[in-house]
Amino acid sequence: MELLPEGASFEACLTCGLCSSGCPAAGIENMDPRKFIRMAMLGMDAELSTTPWVWCCTQCRRCQHVCPMNIDISQLVFLARGNWPQDQKPSGIVRSCQMIRSTDSTSAMGLPPSDFVFVVEDVLQEVRENQPAFAHLQAPMDKKGAHFFVNQNSREPMSEPDEMVPLWKILDLVGADWTYSSKGWAAENFCMFAGDEAAWYEVVKKRVDAVSDLGCQVWLNTECGHSYYTMWHGINRFGLSADFTLESLITWYARWIREGKLPVNSKWNTKNIKFTVQDPCMIVRKAFGEAIAEDMRFVVKTLVGEDNFIDMQPNRSANYCCGGGGGFLQAGMTDHRRTYGKRKFDQIMATGAAYVLTPCHNCHSQMEDIGHFYGGSYGVVHFWTLICLSLGILGENERTYLGPDLLALID
Amino acid sequence: MTTSAATKNIRDGNARHLAVDLAVIGSGLAGFAASIFAVGRRIVTAQVGNTGAVAYTTGYLDLLGREDGSRTDVTDPWQALEKLAADQPDHPLANVPREDIREAFTQFTAFLGEGGLAYSRPGERNLTALTPAGTVKQTLCVPATMAAGCHAYAEKSPCVIVDFKGLKGFSGRQVAANLQARWPGLATARIDFPDIMTGEIYPEVMARALEVPATREKLAVRLKAAAGEAKIIGLPAVLGMHRPDLVKAELERLTGLVIFEIPTMPPSVPGIRLREMFEQVLPQKGVTLIPQQKITRLNFDADGATLSLADSFGPIELRARAVILATGRFLSGGLEAERTGIRETLLNLPVVQPDNRNHWYRDRYTDPRGHAIHRAGLAVDRAFRPLGSDGQPYDERLFAAGVILAHQDWIRGRSGAGIAIASAYKAVAEAEKFLSSRS
Amino acid sequence: MTPDIAPKASRNGTRTIATDVLIIGGGVTGAGVMRDLALRGLHTLLIDKRDLCAGASGGNHGLLHSGARYVASDPHSARECRQENELLKRLAPQCIEDTGGLFVAVDGDDPGFAEEFPVLCTKAAITCKELTPAEARGLEPKLSDRLVKAFRVPDATVDPFRLALENVAHARTLNGSVYLPHTEVLRFEIDRSEIRAAVCRDTRTGGLVKIVAGQYVNAGGAWAMNIAGLAGCRDVNLLYSKGTLLVSHDRLTRHVINRLRLPGDGDILVPGGTVSVLGTTSVRTDRLEQVAPTIEEIDINVREGSAMIPALAHARYIRAFSRVRPLLQSSSGDDREATRGFALIDHTSQGLTNFCTITGGKLTTFRLMAEKAADLVAARLGNSEPCRTAAEPLPDGEACRWTEPGGSPKYWYHAGKADDMILCECEMVPQSAIDEIVQNAPGAEEEMTLEAIALRSRAGKGPCQGSFCGIRICSYLYDRGHYRDATGLHHLRDFFNERFKGQKTVIWGRQAAQMELAEALHCGLLGLDALEENE
């Protein structure tokens, strides 16, 4: 069984170690990217297909970013994951993939379409009733011909449905023509993390079909990292034809702000609370690159005030993976995941910021967890939360992730 | 790709279009130096290239450390340059006036300082700087975090070299053993790095951890214990990544010691510092930086140059009125050594080279005369325009800078930074002359 | 007889060592004689003026011949190879990878030869099975699509370094027999028909060593004629043939691949663990020292090899090396036809009764050569013990396992000790390997050179050719107190110089990038080109 893909440039490796030096997984299970590639070259496929390290590498591609020869070691890791016997893969990831395939929702929590529709309706009703300013709020479902097909992480409808609302308010405010879909609505995609190409393809296909069925022009990716990457990379990899563009909410936040449709400003930040921002690997380094990192910073600075934004170091495409991706949160390898996350923790602490903004669910969960574990006191918030906060439209049930300092600013 | 207000950025179907005055191809010291000088002259600039190899820089900026073929050090580079100009008129450093070289180094180090990496200014003489093997070398400018090491060596002050358990390739004992004859006051001690008890540790990890105050406090305790009676300690280069001067100052405050760092073997921190700083600061200064892509094609037409490249979103077409080729040598892919000869990879420009590969290398690796393969490269005219096969400049809009140039051996001459910075300075000056003559 | 080894003598003194048998030449034959005699209860001292396998034993394909290669040109050798091949696979499996071999012909190769081949194999009792080109390409996808004939034979690959180390280690275990590296014979003291002593020089310290033995064995390989000459013997007649091989970054095939034609240039590609070894050439020479690959030889090997395996034309090569083969003089003009058989010369015609030379031959038949020499030596000493090397398995010696390709990564991985850090990242050699080698390997000594350590391991054999790991290993040895002054730095410089000899002719493409970085580090930063030469 050959682990090395044909045509890969692994023979260009100088064994200089820049990859290992810049990898947060280096040292876990006594492995690192340089060792991994050498073991592949030395024919140790059996060991590589059984080292737990392949579940600790999140495939963030930072190794490739710092490599002077541009070698992509994460490719090898993906292949190694695929070589694991199904019954030995981390069960959390496998189960999530199974759940995704179990209904037309493609939800990793197995929330079927009808339940999703119900939750949305239910929460919408509540908002209309309890928040007079939003008595007319919409959350369209299966609206044919809508411009934006908006996806949704399963976490919100399953466990914190009120967290869906800030985005609805934003879309309403900017007059976006959008819709949810009862089919293929979910964002997450653990099948790629399971190293299961066939399943990955199946999920992507279902989602592509769902967008096509509704005839939307733009698939608008919610604040989730890997959902963008698995969709975009999957469409290219599997040669699927998509009659729509794939775009990120971040790009549109920036655009709406520039167009004046989203009148955010930083006047609310009277206490000059400091913020930093996390660059999700799946959106920045692995996908849009510096352009979206710039858009994100434009949004943050507009939201909190330029002087109240402290960039992490390193940042943008050179930023570190936090360790929330690649299925790490579901793999049940908590100690390793936290060891991995130490670098991110140090980055955040070095900024001195009170909050980390991130447009990614996995980053959100991981940064919260390592914050608690290593004794940091920072909070982690999504963009939609802060946007609504700055506009003074954040409902009472939408403030879960705000610390007392931010809460104090709300009248 | 970072966008700058000064460039025109038009979406056209698949390809994105950019237009600038000057395109710099190459992301080594020469490429970055060219961007720095161009910014200083307010030239609208884009820089493209695969960045990785600048991370191998040790942090020392060598102008001229050794005379060709000799084993003796150059202590006065300015004087040595005079001799060089007489002996080797085709050497790139022979074709940049000394005042310009000095000015170039001054501007370059000032930029580094503004970017958060303080450097010593170019002096009248070289500094004798330390290496991880326990040898010394001549260099012109050093990071401020390393300067105290040069001073301690010059004074032969009592000093402890501190190394870390788990750090490969850096041994305090080795440094002390090899310097002890000249520097008897040198001792060594090994310590743990805070929170890392087992396994191997990379300098980058330590450097980033030291950006956090709590880590510094823990390390300070260990450093004080290791220093014993000495007032000066030397460490491998781990004093922070983003704010090394702050990290050093803080550790000195916490320990009451003078602290300096010594470069390590790759993967080393000083090179990563430079890379990360350039990639953040240059876009802030208005340079359009596309740091992870290689140019696939370069064409010249009546109106200018077109550089073709692509990122994960598709093709990018960059139009420029002048181009500086600073693509480096074999490591960075500016030159390719094929069995039949050495080729310049972007335009197939003629490469000055030995007549066949039998003559690329001498028999002995460490022959002080160096190897002819390293002298191969692009011939340029006085304006640093590379020559075409007819011996005339390939195009009036094309310039070349850095170690891709022929008639120099930057490795043996300890002149890599010198060639990069000086030739970039000159190339930008010439490009500016050209651009204003056409505007 | 117990050894009498004085403590390390000063430069001015000569120390004297006594032993039963002095064996000159640390190639596999010399090491084999050492073990064979030890198994018979005889104490030996093995010396080499450089180190183990410094001659042809360390510069060959690593091919354990099935014998098929010689069925046309030298049927006697072919049979010997077959027998020894089977023996060694059984008795020294830790040194061997049983890869199997293919003989392949491409469009344009002599069909007559291909016709005869299986017949001759059968005659020599060598298993030979014909495969269709499609079957052959199924086994080895990298074979050319211009393949017209293919046969499968029981070739295998062998690690000559490990073979030598294990033989020496076993002799040491059996009766304290000793191996001394960097010990060169200057002259023999002869009294009537006997050599009384060999006066030798330690080439590292310059000190003299006098070795007094009952019997003296010349296993000097290509140097055998010179050594015999020192004893006044004119009955060793050798031709020297230089062969050049190159090592590719990747292992390109599972089997040994031979060209199905009369032996010529570039017609064998042998897997060597994780790399492939392509060769060889045959250039008559009269030089024994400073032999180096030439560009022409490299290009010939690549051109010929590409006819069988097109990927060889574009492969990354990390090293090339040349060694000198001793050939017993023959009357024909073609060196390849000179017999690859061996000769045991008892020198009685030269008036000596306690000197013999074992020479010629090939790696595959080393044990047989050693047996013949040992039979003679034992008989002359009145020792009637039979040879046991055809029955006694070769045990795993201490600190001998590190030359096995892919061995140390597996060991390190399964041991899982985070503090046992990897020093050679390319071949994944950990600190514990270095420790073991420096303390226990045959020839281990104080301030052992990096080159000697590398020989006993895979350090420096990967793509970086030691340019990074040399630095790490050197630092580690300073940490351990193995080096305490500038000696380590000089060893580092010497190590890189030695490694470079093997690279010079294959530096192009990716290897040029690797070397640019290496030289910038070694010279530009560390200044190893400026160290004083004479230390």
Go through the domains of chain B in sequence order and give each one's CATH number: 8-111+272-438 (3.50.50.60), 132-262 (3.40.50.1860)
pLDDT value, residue A49: 85
Which residues lie across from A220 on neighbouring strands?
A150, A247
pLDDT value, residue B12: 40
Find chain B residues with C-beta within 8 A of A350's C-beta: 211-212, 242
Angle at C512 between CA B385 and CA B327, to 5 degrees: 30
Whether C81 maps to a domain, the answer reads: no
Separation in Å, CA of B209 to nearest CA in chain C: 20
Taking CA atoms, B217 is separated from B233, B256, B262, C291, C435, in Å, by: 16, 13, 21, 58, 35
Total domains, chain C: 3
pLDDT beyond 90 at B52: no
A touches which chains (3+ CB pairs under 8 A)? Answer: B, C
What's the CA gap between C194 and C180, in Å, rounded? 23
Q: Does C313 lie in the same domain as C223?
A: no
Query: Cβ(C189)–Cβ(C213) under 8 Å?
Result: no
pLDDT value, residue A7: 55
Picking from C396, C431, C484, C457, the residue whose alpha carbon sits closest to that of residue C95 is: C396
What's the CA gap between A292 and A278, in Å, rounded? 12
Picking from C95, C52, C88, C100, the residue whose alpha carbon sits closest to that of residue C404 is: C95
Task: Count chain A–chain B contacts defined by CB atoms under 8 A.
Answer: 89
Q: How confident is residue A43, by pLDDT bands cut at 50, 70 and 90?
A: confident
pLDDT under 70: residue ranges of chain C: 1-12, 330-340, 533-535
Q: Is B8 exposed, middle or buried (0-12, 13-18, 19+ CB in 10 A)?
A: exposed
Q: Does C264 lie in the same domain as C144?
A: yes
Q: Does C512 lie in the same domain as C456?
A: yes
Whether C187 maps to a domain, the answer reads: yes
CB of B9 within 8 Å of a chain A CB? The answer is no
Domain CATH for C247: 3.30.9.10
Q: Does C170 lie in the same domain as C106?
A: no
Find chain B residues with C-beta within 8 A of C483's C-beta: 174, 177
Find chain B residues with C-beta within 8 A of C528's C-beta: 133, 135, 366
Q: Does C297 lie in the same domain as C151?
A: yes
Question: Which residues have CB under 8 Å from B28's CB, separation 6+?
Answer: B49, B53, B54, B326, B328, B332, B402, B403, B420
Query: Cβ(C68)–Cβ(C78) under 8 Å?
Result: yes
Find chain C residues with C-beta within 8 A of A2's C-beta: none
Q: Which ipTM did the prediction report?
A: 0.95
Whether C332 maps to a domain, the answer reads: no
What's the CA gap between C196 and C189, in Å, rounded? 5
Q: Does C521 lie in the same domain as C470?
A: yes
Q: Does C309 lie in the same domain as C409?
A: no
Domain boundary among C323, C357, C390: C323
C touches which chains (3+ CB pairs under 8 A)? Answer: A, B
What's the CA gap between C123 and C128, in Å, rounded? 11
* Helix, strand or coil, per DSSP, at residue C218: strand
Query: Cβ(C169)–Cβ(C398) under 8 Å?
Result: yes
pLDDT value, residue C7: 43
In this complex, the residue of A30, A314, A346 whose CB is nearest that of residue B276 is A314
**Amino acid present at C194:** E
Picking from B345, B377, B331, the residue whose alpha carbon sits closest to that of residue B386 is: B377
Q: Does C121 lie in the same domain as C261?
A: yes
CB of C316 within 8 Å of a chain B CB? The answer is no
Q: How confident is residue B7, by pLDDT bands cut at 50, 70 and 90?
A: very low
Q: What are phi and psi of A343, to 5 degrees?
A: -65, -40
B202-251: pLDDT as tens digits: 999 999 999 999 999 999 999 999 999 999 999 999 999 999 999 999 99
* Helix, strand or coil, per DSSP, at residue B391: coil
Mutate to test the interface with A, among B7, B27, B268, B292 (most CBs of A within 10 A): B292
pLDDT value, residue C74: 87
Angle at A78 between CA A73 and CA A83, to 5 degrees: 125
In this complex, the residue of A14, A17, A35 whose CB is nearest that of residue C428 is A35
**Amino acid present at B263:** P
Note whether A18 contacts B203, CB cutoff 8 Å: no
What's the CA gap between C514 and C500, in Å, rounded? 12
In this complex, the residue of A27, A34, A51 whose CB is nearest that of residue C425 is A34
Question: Which residues have CB under 8 Å from A60's CB, separation 6+?
Answer: A74, A281, A285, A286, A320, A321, A325, A326
Note whether B173 contacts C507, CB cutoff 8 Å: no
Q: Does C175 lie in the same domain as C51?
A: yes
* Helix, strand or coil, per DSSP, at residue B306: strand
Whether C119 maps to a domain, the answer reads: yes
Residues in chain A: 411
Note whether C526 contacts B412, CB cutoff 8 Å: no
Q: Tokens representing A388?
A: 């609504």
CATH fold for the domain made of A91-253: Rossmann fold (3.40.50)
pLDDT beyond 80 at A116: yes
SS3 helix, strand, coil % of chain A, rounded to 5?
55, 5, 40
Note whether B411 contacts C519, CB cutoff 8 Å: yes
Q: Is B340 exposed, middle or buried (0-12, 13-18, 19+ CB in 10 A)?
A: exposed
Q: Where are the alpha helices (DSSP H) in C155-294?
A: 160-175, 224-230
Domain CATH for C205: 3.50.50.60
Residues in chain B: 439
Question: Which residues have CB under 8 Å from A138's CB, separation 6+?
Answer: A124, A168, A172
Whether C335 maps to a domain, the answer reads: no
Q: What are phi and psi of C43, to 5 degrees?
A: -85, 135
Q: Which residue of A has its CA nearest to C410?
A: A44
pLDDT value, residue B3: 36
pLDDT beyond 80 at A8: no
Instruction: Establish how many alpha carbons lie within 13 A of residue B201's alpha carbon, considering only the half-sphere containing its beta carbon.
Output: 23
pLDDT value, residue B329: 97
Note whether C463 contacts A15, CB cutoff 8 Å: yes
B287-340: pLDDT as tens digits: 999 988 889 999 999 999 999 998 777 789 999 999 999 999 999 999 999 999
In this complex, the residue of C488, C525, C530 whose CB is nearest that of residue B174 is C488
Whether C60 maps to a domain, the answer reads: no
Whether C272 maps to a domain, the answer reads: yes
Query: Cβ(C20)–Cβ(C289) under 8 Å?
Result: no
pLDDT value, residue C330: 58
Angle at C235 between CA C231 and CA C236, to 5 degrees: 85
Strands B335-338 vs B341-344: parallel, antiparallel or unpaired: antiparallel
- Domain(s) of CATH 3.40.50: residues in chain A: 91-253, 259-410
Q: Tokens representing A380?
A: 């982690």
Q: Does C295 lie in the same domain as C436?
A: no
Domain that holds residue C9: 4-55+161-237+340-380
- The alpha carbon of A30 is separated from its chain's Cα centroid by a whole number of angstroms, namely 28
Question: Which residues have CB under 8 Å from B197's CB, separation 6+?
Answer: none
A136-194: pLDDT as tens digits: 999 999 999 999 999 999 999 999 999 999 999 999 999 999 999 999 999 999 999 99
C276-286: pLDDT as tens digits: 999 999 999 99
Concatenated DSSP letters for C417-440?
Answer: -TTS-EEETTTTEEHHHHHHHHHH
Query: Cβ(A161)–Cβ(A123) under 8 Å?
Result: yes
Q: Does C476 lie in the same domain as C424?
A: yes
Q: How confident is residue B50, by pLDDT bands cut at 50, 70 and 90?
A: confident
Q: Does C448 lie in the same domain as C521?
A: yes
pLDDT value, residue A280: 97
Concatenated DSSP letters for B66-114?
Answer: B-TT--SBPS-HHHHHHHHHHH-TTSGGGGS-HHHHHHHHHHHHHHHHH
Whether C86 maps to a domain, the answer reads: no
What's the CA gap between C324 and C286, in Å, rounded? 9
Strands B15-25 vs B314-325: parallel, antiparallel or unpaired: parallel
Separation in Å, CA of C246 to nearest CA in chain B: 15
Query: Cβ(A42)–Cβ(C406) under 8 Å?
Result: yes
What's the CA gap between C175 and A308, in Å, rounded? 78
Query: Cβ(C515)–Cβ(B335) under 8 Å?
Result: no
Query: Cβ(A204)–Cβ(A240) under 8 Å?
Result: yes
CATH class, domain A259-410, is: alpha beta
Residues in chain C: 535
Q: What are phi and psi of A84, to 5 degrees?
A: -70, 140
pLDDT value, residue B198: 81
B touches which chains (3+ CB pairs under 8 A)? Answer: A, C
Whole-number average pLDDT of chain A: 94
What's the CA gap between B191 and B159, in Å, rounded? 16
What's the CA gap between B25 and A48, in Å, rounded? 39
Taking CA atoms, C339 is separated from A272, C29, C127, C281, in Å, by: 90, 17, 23, 17
Q: Is the peptide bond before B89 cis (omega within 30 degrees of 0)?
A: no
Query: Cβ(C279)–Cβ(C244) under 8 Å?
Result: yes
Q: Tokens representing B433?
A: 């002359």
Query: Cβ(C522)–Cβ(C496) under 8 Å?
Result: yes
Picking from C178, C249, C132, C121, the residue whose alpha carbon sits closest to that of residue C514 is: C249
B151-201: pLDDT as tens digits: 999 999 999 999 999 999 999 999 999 999 999 989 999 999 998 878 999
Q: Which residue of B has its CA nearest to C297?
A: B358
pLDDT beyond 90 at A389: yes
Would the CA dihedral through B413, B416, B421, B426 be positive or negative? positive
pLDDT value, residue C6: 41
What's the CA gap between C529 and B366, in Å, rounded? 5
Question: Which residues have CB under 8 Å from C523's CB, separation 6+?
Answer: B366, B411, B412, C529, C530
What's the CA gap between C330 and C474, in Å, rounded? 47
pLDDT beyond 90 at A19: yes
What mean pLDDT is predicted for residues A255-267? 96
